[in-house]
Amino acid sequence: MPNKTGGLDEWTFEGGNLSNPLRNGWQQDSVRKDDHVVIEAYVHLDPRVKYAVLEHVTLTSTGETFPSRNRPMPDWLWNLQRIFRAHGYSPI
């Protein structure tokens, strides 16, 4: 990644369990060499450490976004969990 001095820094990005990106639409050739991407990630608290946990990768050429981790739980499932808890059942 470009740094403040005009050079490049090498970063490590972790995307979690391999099955999650595959379930979210990633394929082996989703991002190719020389593709330009926008990365959304949670960076390490120490700015000297070039490490981040990947959230999304967006291809700038197509605007296609690939989530790295599990998709957020849909509202209907949250509501179902609340109903179960209200009646004394364990969450699903």
- How many domains in the chain? 1
- 3-state secondary structure at position 83: helix
Tokens of 69: 């981790």
Between the CA atoms of 29, 19, 25 and 69, what dihedral angle is there, to the nearest 10 degrees? -110
Within-domain flag for 6: no
In this prediction, residue 70 carries a pLDDT of 64
- 3-state secondary structure at position 63: coil
Within-domain flag for 5: no
Write the pLDDT tens digit of every residue in 34-74. Answer: 999 998 888 888 888 899 888 888 999 999 888 887 655 56
Within-domain flag for 4: no
Within-domain flag for 1: no
In this prediction, residue 75 carries a pLDDT of 67
Residue 33, H or E segment: none
Within-domain flag for 7: no
Within-domain flag for 91: no
Show the domain range for 29: 12-86
Is the pLDDT score of 92 beyond 60? Answer: no
Percent with pLDDT over 70 in the chain: 80
Within-domain flag for 92: no
